[in-house]
Amino acid sequence: MTTIYCLHGPNLDLLGQREPERYGRLTLAQIDQRLGERAAALGVALVCGQYNGEGALVEAIHAAGGGDGLLIN
């Protein structure tokens, strides 16, 4: 099965809480759920993660090297 990694960067865990008039009211969990539903409909495995530190994000990018695709948000 095709595996796609979706890595969210700093502060995206605050979506829906921080300045919702600017960034919207959807939370990151809701966005991940929608992405997961779309991926499942396409027969794709989706692995999502959120990282506030640059080092942790870089480590996640390296760990995703075995996947078929990588989306950095």
| Inter-residue contact 56 to 65 (CB < 8 Å) | no
* pLDDT mean across residues, the chain: 96
Cα–Cα distance, 45 to 5 (Å, whole number): 8
Q: What is the pLDDT of residues 6-33, one digit of tens each?
A: 999 999 999 999 999 999 999 999 999 9
**Distance between CA atoms of 61 and 73, rounded to whole angstroms?**
12
Domains of the chain: 3-72 (3.40.50.9100)
Q: Are 55 and 9 in contact (CB under 8 A)?
A: no
Token pair 């995703």 is found at 64
What is the structure's pLDDT at 43?
A: 98
66 pLDDT band, cuts 50/70/90, is confident
Average pLDDT of span 56-63: 96
% of the chain exceeding 90 in pLDDT:
99
